[in-house]
Structure 1
Amino acid sequence: MNETSTDQRTAGEDSVARTYEVVIVGAGFAGLEAAKRLGRAGVDVLLLDQNNYHQFQPLLYQVATAQIALSTVARPLRSILHRERKHVTIRTARVVAINAAKKTVTTADGVRYRAEILVISSGAEPNFFDTPGAEEHAYPLYSVDDAARLSSALLGALERASANHDHSTNQNFTVAVVGAGPNGVETAGAIAENIRDVVGKYYSHSFASSCAVHLVDMVDTVLPPFSQTSQQYTRNRLEKLGVKVHLGSAVSEVSDTDISLADGTKIDAEIVVWAAGLKASQLLEPAGLTTGRGGRIDVAKDLTAPECQGVYVLGDAANIVDAKDRKLPQLGSVAKQSGRWAAENIRADLTGRPRREFKFVDMGYMAMIGRGQSVAELTPRRYQVQGMPAFLGWLAVHAGLLSGWQQRAAAVVSWARDYLTTSRPHAVIYRPEAYEIARYARTDDSSTV
């Protein structure tokens, strides 16, 4: 390890542990790809993340709906980077401050690291858009912890409603999903399928018929990035699954019993899933970087921060444009490609070569609607595929993107079982406190349980 300073401590100041050639904040798609490429090239890297694992965010909704196990989407960082361990140091620590000008990073334990080149890929967090009650009562779905909480809460609310239904109180189990983008559509479809195929099997058909899923968004269509043909197909499939779609009216308030829409509609909801959008980590603005849309950094075409030399911003922390100056969406494919490209530019910086402008390879969009049903629009020409062919393509792409052969094998086995049966062996309580809140929170009718 090329350490230019070790264990330098000054009384009254945060310690400066070491200076590395590259410090990467965040082990998401972008940060992990950059660390891999740089480690293989022999560059000394420090990778910082508050978790000791990399999470595969596109499949979190399947963890929440018991289609796959939590271990399928979370793989330890040291397992992923074991071949690069000579050059990549991993520290599990929460970053509390970044100084972009000085290229330093401070962690919650008071240790400060300095970089010759700093990479900020600090990810994002749910954007509740200051909606009253949303942060307190809604369940976001952006991290493994979010998926575990939502999964347990769904089980708790389901158990509570079932018990009350058995006592002839006609208690319904209702879920509202806020946000009709890919994450919201996939989550709503998966929950609706569970109600149709699993609740009736393990509880009762009369109870299942009283359950409902609502999909809500202020925009006037589902899957805004897709074509009108794909949007209409998706809405039709969702409604066939029993999802009640409410578009064109924003959520004005969320409570522990319902959500209110701007048009005056009120929807009863045992569980509210928030898939309405993300904003960049709150670390960015205090770091001395000018933020743009979504609190993200408008990076230069070579992926560097305009104000600071030697600072790269990637993934959900960055607003990245393509060759035609169009802002790219916050997708895993963009993050992975930006991480690889930044690694090559960093190697150019370290060897005195010029950087290259980022060129994104657009493979298109995909979204799962339910068992055997997906939509895909492939390549920049947006070739449209629907139904079973798109479903199989979605499975193949996501299996290939998972990190590790064990995770891929586990996902394929789970998908095969899910397609052939209606069992849910992964329906376990990950977070007992979330289960208890959803199971017993309301006391108005708890005596009937």
Structure 2
Amino acid sequence: MAPATQEVVVLGANFAGLGLTHILERRIFPVLKRLDSAVTFHVTVVTPNSHFFFKVAAPRAISKSGAIADDSLFRPISEGLKQYGDSVSLIQGKAVKLTPETRKVTVETNIGERQDVAYDYLFISTGTTSASPLWTLHDNHEKTVKAIHEINDILPKIKSVLIAGAGPVGVETAGEIAHNYPEVKITIVSAGEVLNGLKPGTSTKAKQFLKGAKAEVLINKRVKDHSTTNGSTKVELDDGSSRTVDLFIDSRGASKINNDFLPGSWLDATGRVTTRDAYFRVKGDGQADVSGVYVVGDIVSGSTNTAIELDAQVLCATSSFSVDVARKLGHDTSKSPGLLSYIPLIGSWFKSNVPRQAEFKPMKDTILVPFGPTGGVGQIFGWGAPSFMVKKAKAEKFLIELVEPAITGNKYAKIT
């Protein structure tokens, strides 16, 4: 029998951590309490940022002042968690040490104090940090707000921009600048192909959009260094050449994996956390107890770092948690509810309330990359997405309509 109050700690609170907390409170805990009405749960969310950042829409936000209002792009995390009352605590700070032997996380708060937080179950969702605060939070969301406003102010005054990185963010940023400032000369530098890793047809279409915008595309080259003097930036490439531009935008993805507090033996060669199964349970090193420890988001070994994959990770990991708790409560989670459960009208009478392990089922080979508000490129399950579909699905509003349900948790139906 599990103890009456289970302490659940969630490290990180942007897309992954906030989503985890909402699913636990709205869907998982109610089901588990049906198994044992005496068991209760308390969640402690540890994160340095006070605000949620809808980074998906950052390329549009930077392209033009007022394109997306600050209070649409950034929302207080406390606003979404207050509905859960005392069952959720929020600590503004960072995990600086994990001690699995005693099942404690040492947290350094934003005001410099240290405290140990005990856990029965732990979700690691600390993600990664980009070199530029334009794309990920650098602890305080005000740094990202400032960086966005600075680009807003600079873009109308420049004649040239170099974008390092030709992944989705780099291509989307080029498209937004081309739409709002067609007179600006755009150079985009890619270490591999444009939209490397996607289907060749998707990459080819993206290059056609860039060509239409008269952008200079440099593939198989890397930015080696850059320095700014008197308002101009000299960008040095690894082939010995250089470009001098009015603005340099670094969109090369993660520059740091937020793993400083984790045992090195838990990490793969890239610094990401390895899992022991397909359900996001942490593998560990065979020494310390890692039962009830899960990992989601960009910090997962093998993650493709996409929002579509993240949603599937969160659903799977919270399912793993529910199964593990149910087993501790003495329930068999392996049995099928049987064929009778699928008979219309009467099937629900035969369904078991015991949680079952959900599979990890992301929408594979699916991504939409706008090039301005009128269209773009993409693929759905590997099939090319026409430009008009990209326009309707993402390019028009950049999915800003998803912020509200992400904050409130309304994207997850509540079980009562």
TM category (shorter chain) comes to: 0.7 to 0.9
Query: Which amino acid letter does the alignment assign opposite residue 97 of structure 2?
Result: A
Q: CA separation in 2, counterparts of 1:406 and 1:346?
A: 22
Q: CA separation in 1, counterparts of 2:247 and 2:98?
A: 36
Per-residue deviation, 1:98: 2.7
SS of equivalent residue, structure 2 residue 202: helix
Report how many aligned residue pairs link the two structures: 348
> CA offsets per residue over residues 207-232 of structure 1, 9 Å max, x none?
xx4x322111111x211232222211
Runs of at least 5 residues in structure 1 that lack an aligned partner in the other structure: 5-18, 128-137, 163-171, 197-208, 320-326, 408-449
What is the 5 A alignment of 1:97-116? 97-108=97-108, 109-116=113-120
> CA offsets per residue over residues 9-59 of structure 1, 9 Å max, x none?
xxxxxxxxxx96210000122211221122222532111111222221211
SS of equivalent residue, structure 2 residue 298: helix
**1:141 aligned to 2:116?**
no
**1:222 aligned to 2:194?**
yes
**1:192 aligned to 2:193?**
no
Query: Which amino acid letter does the alignment assign opposite residue 214 of structure 1?
Result: T
Q: CA separation in 1, counterparts of 2:177 and 2:269?
A: 32
**1:151 aligned to 2:179?**
no
Pick closer, same or farther for the CA change 1:336–1:145 going to 2, 3 Å: farther
**1:318 aligned to 2:300?**
yes
Q: CA separation in 2, counterparts of 1:125 and 1:278?
A: 5
Query: Which amino acid letter does the alignment assign opposite residue 173 of structure 1?
Result: K
Pick closer, same or farther for the CA change 1:336–1:284 going to 2, 3 Å: farther
> CA offsets per residue over residues 71-117 of structure 1, 9 Å max, x none?
21222222223433342222222333333443322222211101001
SS of equivalent residue, structure 1 residue 361: coil
2:216 — aligned with what? 244
Query: Which amino acid letter does the alignment assign opposite residue 263 of structure 1?
Result: D
Q: CA separation in 2, counterparts of 1:309 and 1:80?
A: 29
2:312 — aligned with what? 337
**1:302 aligned to 2:276?**
no
Higher fraction of helix: 1
Pick closer, same or farther for the CA change 1:28–1:101 going to 2, 3 Å: farther
Pick closer, same or farther for the CA change 1:336–1:45 going to 2, 3 Å: same
Query: Which amino acid letter does the alignment assign opposite residue 120 of structure 1?
Result: I
Query: Which amino acid letter does the alignment assign opposite residue 306 of structure 1?
Result: K
2:251 — aligned with what? 275
Query: Which amino acid letter does the alignment assign opposite residue 177 of structure 1?
Result: I
**Conserved in 2, the CA contact under 8 Å of 1:123 and 1:281?**
yes
SS of equivalent residue, structure 2 residue 385: strand
1:92 — aligned with what? 92
Query: Which amino acid letter does the alignment assign opposite residue 189 of structure 2?
Result: V
Q: CA separation in 1, counterparts of 2:391 and 2:377?
A: 7
**Conserved in 1, the CA contact under 8 Å of 2:370 and 2:376?**
yes
Per-residue deviation, 1:406: 10
2:203 — aligned with what? 231
Q: CA separation in 1, counterparts of 2:376 and 2:15?
A: 24
**Conserved in 2, the CA contact under 8 Å of 1:103 and 1:311?**
no
Q: CA separation in 2, counterparts of 1:403 and 1:289?
A: 38
> CA offsets per residue over residues 237-269 of structure 1, 9 Å max, x none?
122223221111111211112111112221112
1:56 — aligned with what? 54
Per-residue deviation, 1:365: 1.0
1:176 — aligned with what? 162
1:30 — aligned with what? 16
TM score, norm. by length of structure 1 = 0.70
Per-residue deviation, 1:350: 2.0
Residue identity over aligned pairs, in percent, reads: 20
What is the 5 A alignment of 1:362-441? 362=363, 364-379=366-381, 382-394=382-394, 395=396, 398-399=399-400, 401-404=402-405
Between 82-91 and 370-379, report the one with greater CA deviation.
Answer: 82-91
**Conserved in 2, the CA contact under 8 Å of 1:80 and 1:403?**
no
SS of equivalent residue, structure 2 residue 371: strand
Pick closer, same or farther for the CA change 1:147–1:282 going to 2, 3 Å: closer
1:416 — aligned with what? none
**Conserved in 1, the CA contact under 8 Å of 2:96 and 2:260?**
no
Query: Which amino acid letter does the alignment assign opposite residue 345 of structure 1?
Result: S
Q: CA RMSD, aligned part only?
A: 2.8
**Conserved in 1, the CA contact under 8 Å of 2:222 and 2:237?**
yes
Per-residue deviation, 1:61: 1.9
Runs of at least 5 residues in structure 2 that lack an aligned partner in the other structure: 31-40, 285-289, 334-355, 409-416
Query: Which amino acid letter does the alignment assign opposite residue 304 of structure 1?
Result: R
Per-residue deviation, 1:347: 2.0
Pick closer, same or farther for the CA change 1:373–1:57 going to 2, 3 Å: same
**Conserved in 1, the CA contact under 8 Å of 2:191 and 2:222?**
yes
SS of equivalent residue, structure 1 residue 229: helix
Q: CA separation in 2, counterparts of 1:398 and 1:90?
A: 27
Q: CA separation in 2, counterparts of 1:145 and 1:289?
A: 34
> CA offsets per residue over residues 125-151 of structure 1, 9 Å max, x none?
126xxxxxxxxxx66522355642433
**1:258 aligned to 2:255?**
no
Query: Which amino acid letter does the alignment assign opposite residue 357 of structure 2?
Result: R
SS of equivalent residue, structure 1 residue 334: helix
TM score, norm. by length of structure 2 = 0.75
SS of equivalent residue, structure 2 residue 122: strand
Per-residue deviation, 1:3: 10
